Amino acid sequence: MQHKQIETEDVVIRFAGDSGDGMQLTGSLFADMSAIFGNGLSTFPDYPAEIRAPHGTVSGVSGFQVHIGSGEINTPGDFCDLLVAMNPAALKANAKWCKPTGMILVDADAFDEAGMKRAGFQTDDPFTELRVEDRALIIAPITTLTEESLKDSGMDHKAILKCKNMFTLGMACFIYSRPLEYIFTYLEKKFSKKHPEVIAPNKKVLNDGFNYAANIQAVPNTYVCPPDMHKKPGLYRNITGNQAVAWGLLAASEKSGLPLFCGSYPITPATAILEELALHKSLGCKTLQAEDEISGICTAIGASFAGNLAATTTSGPGLSLKSEALGLAVMTELPLVVVDVQRAGPSTGIPTKTEQTDLAQALYGRNGECPIPVVAAHSPANCFDAAFNAAKIALEHMTPVILLSEGFLGNGSEPWLIPAMADYPEIKPPFVAGTLQEGEKFKPFERDPETFVRKWAVPGQKGYEHRVGGLEKNHAGVLSSDPLNHEMMVRERAEKVAKIADFIPELELDGPSKGKLLVIGWGGTYGHIKSAVMEVRRQGKEVSMAHFDYINPLPRNTKEVFSGFERILVCELNSGQFAAYLRDCMPEFEYVKCNKVQGQPFLVSELVQAINKEI
């Protein structure tokens, strides 16, 4: 069967199935393979909180979207060119994401009466019912074909059924002209030690899927998405945001010469950071899986007092539990990195869905006047630099720092040009130096006159014995409830954080420095905003953008950048928390809000619309 091969600039594929169908693995494999092929890419796992949600139901559908391209790819894509639906529920939950020109590949065997009923279809024609009957439909009996493919493999029936995703991946590889070698290598690496017996059957089923797609009429064309030829030369890898946070902290540990200690409690979607750090004991990293979130941060504070680079990783509900201890870190002026991989809230909310709704909590969520620097990561790979910079600020300015990540960044991945550690700056904490004179007392809260940073005397140093704690004290560290001393200390702690603005990069402006509209955002919305701004420019309109990696303090040129524009469009995945903060900091500008609180990232199309409305 001859297929026409079409060259395409970018392709979005969405793999969807039951949460036990292996869609996350299928999607990641396709992504990794494309990365190695040289494509730009971005991924977005979208899965339910239940490990094995009720079989065949819409609530149990797990999805993984991957966007590959011949150029720079900034988002996982709004709509897909190929939707893979392993059962009726997956089709029902995801049909709306298929482009009008897209293809839908389904496992025909799953579309029996029972499956259709579980997914809640009213008719026996799911495609018409979902109004996607005009898409290119590839209705393949994947279950039967997988069973047939592996009938002589010696595997039991249950194990054979688990290979359906590999058959499907084989089909997708044919459609997008991907050689299977990469996946073969992956399978060999992964299973050669523990389960060598599964390698051959998986290879066979992949091949059979590939060949089946090649032989059927239903696949209209095949596509090829050439590699990104403008990519900077160098060694690349694919990296998720959570992995990048962990590695960024390890990098800061190396550059500061301080062992890394991470005290954390498992919580979706931040757990992978703790898991990743637990792997790297060879770099001297100590991980403590604490009995609760409070112990996570308190063990970290203890470790910080004892001279380690200390971190605790969590998500929104965990950050709430850590609030009191965060105040203790502010009061004792000890370095600490708190990573919040935000998820949909409030309370338990929608744990596996992404949001930017913890900004106000990070800025204000503590008793007393309790300023904490807040930084944000803007892409999965950027989580590395964000974590490194958060640790650098914490260690050099003797303060806890909150790093805001998002489920979308933590679980999402992109190719990353591997940096050399030689290009990263040293981190120099303000350790006390030398020995004290006879009779001289160390004053733990005496400040550097420029930065307001106190000195760090780590226990074990002779002569520097001192006490820290949550009570107010004077510069000498002696407890004090003197009203004026308290007010001075409150002001100095705030001033110390404000002065960090002198040490962080200035806000970068993308586009003309004067105009009608400046589009801004913070954190994980970067790729979507950038894509939207590029689209608006393609439409011939002028618009500028700036993205905030540093929220408290704001970059010192923020006011200057803002003053070139009539209006500022603040795009964020909450009801307007950054906008409210900016209004508070700089009330003289006109802010327009663009918000979404659906547990989902922006669509580029939504942002294009919002921008066009303002210009």
- Residues of this chain that interact with another protein (CB under 8 A) are 32, 35-36, 38, 186, 231-238, 247, 250-251, 254, 259, 261, 263, 280-284, 286, 288, 290-292, 294-295, 298-308, 310, 324-325, 327-328, 332, 417-421, 458-471, 478-479
Closest approach, Cβ 485 to another protein, in A, equals: 17
Give strand pairing partners of 454: 447
Query: CA 46 to CA 16: how far, in whole Å?
Result: 9
Give strand pairing partners of 405: 341
Query: CA 106 to CA 39: how far, in whole Å?
Result: 26
- Comparing CB distances to another protein, the nearer of 51 and 420 is 420
Distance of CA 170 to the CA centre of its chain: 28
HEC secondary structure over 125-190: CHHHHCCCCCCEEEEECHHHHHHHHCCCCCCCHHHHHCCHHHHHHHHHHHHCCCCCHHHHHHHHHH
Residue 453 is classified by DSSP as P
Pair of tokens at residue 595: 């918000």
- Comparing CB distances to another protein, the nearer of 238 and 271 is 238
Closest approach, Cβ 507 to another protein, in A, equals: 28
Closest approach, Cβ 481 to another protein, in A, equals: 12
Nearest residue to 536 (alpha-carbon basis) of 594, 604, 596, 600: 604
Cis peptide before 429 (omega within 30 of 0): no
- Comparing CB distances to another protein, the nearer of 364 and 464 is 464
Query: CA 345 to CA 315: how far, in whole Å?
Result: 10
Using alpha carbons only, what angle is made at residue 525 by residues 522 and 529, rounded to the nearest 5 degrees? Answer: 100
Closest approach, Cβ 297 to another protein, in A, equals: 8
Closest approach, Cβ 280 to another protein, in A, equals: 7
- Comparing CB distances to another protein, the nearer of 441 and 559 is 441
Cβ-count burial of 226 within 10 angstroms (0-12 exposed, 13-18 middle, 19+ buried)?
A: middle
Closest approach, Cβ 250 to another protein, in A, equals: 6
Residue 95 is classified by DSSP as G
- Comparing CB distances to another protein, the nearer of 284 and 511 is 284
Query: CA 417 to CA 432: how far, in whole Å?
Result: 38
Q: Which helix (H) or strand (E) holds 314?
A: strand 309-314
- Comparing CB distances to another protein, the nearer of 461 and 485 is 461
- Comparing CB distances to another protein, the nearer of 304 and 411 is 304
Closest approach, Cβ 580 to another protein, in A, equals: 30
Q: Is 104 helix (H, G, I), strand (E, B) or coil?
A: strand
Closest approach, Cβ 77 to another protein, in A, equals: 22
Query: CA 529 to CA 236: how far, in whole Å?
Result: 25
- Comparing CB distances to another protein, the nearer of 277 and 561 is 277
Q: Which helix (H) or strand (E) holds 546?
A: strand 544-548
Closest approach, Cβ 235 to another protein, in A, equals: 5
- Comparing CB distances to another protein, the nearer of 399 and 577 is 399
Closest approach, Cβ 251 to another protein, in A, equals: 5
Token pair 């500022």 is at which residue? 568
- Comparing CB distances to another protein, the nearer of 51 and 235 is 235
Are the C-beta atoms of 200 and 238 separated by less than 8 Å? no
Closest approach, Cβ 459 to another protein, in A, equals: 4
- Comparing CB distances to another protein, the nearer of 470 and 515 is 470
- Comparing CB distances to another protein, the nearer of 430 and 463 is 463
- Comparing CB distances to another protein, the nearer of 442 and 589 is 442
Closest approach, Cβ 76 to another protein, in A, equals: 20
* Other Cβ atoms within 10 Å of 266 Cβ, number: 16
Instruction: DSSP for 361-418, please give it.
Output: HHHH-SSSS----EEE--STTHHHHHHHHHHHHHHHHTSEEEEEEEHHHHH-EEEEEP
Residue 59 neighbours by CB under 8 Å, 6+ apart: 48, 50, 53
- Comparing CB distances to another protein, the nearer of 32 and 109 is 32
Nearest residue to 166 (alpha-carbon basis) of 200, 137, 119: 200
Query: CA 162 to CA 143: how far, in whole Å?
Result: 10
Closest approach, Cβ 560 to another protein, in A, equals: 36
Closest approach, Cβ 457 to another protein, in A, equals: 8
CB burial of 542-560 (b: ≥16 within 10 Å; e: otherwise) equals ebbbbbbbbbbbbbbebee
Distance of CA 263 to the CA centre of its chain: 20
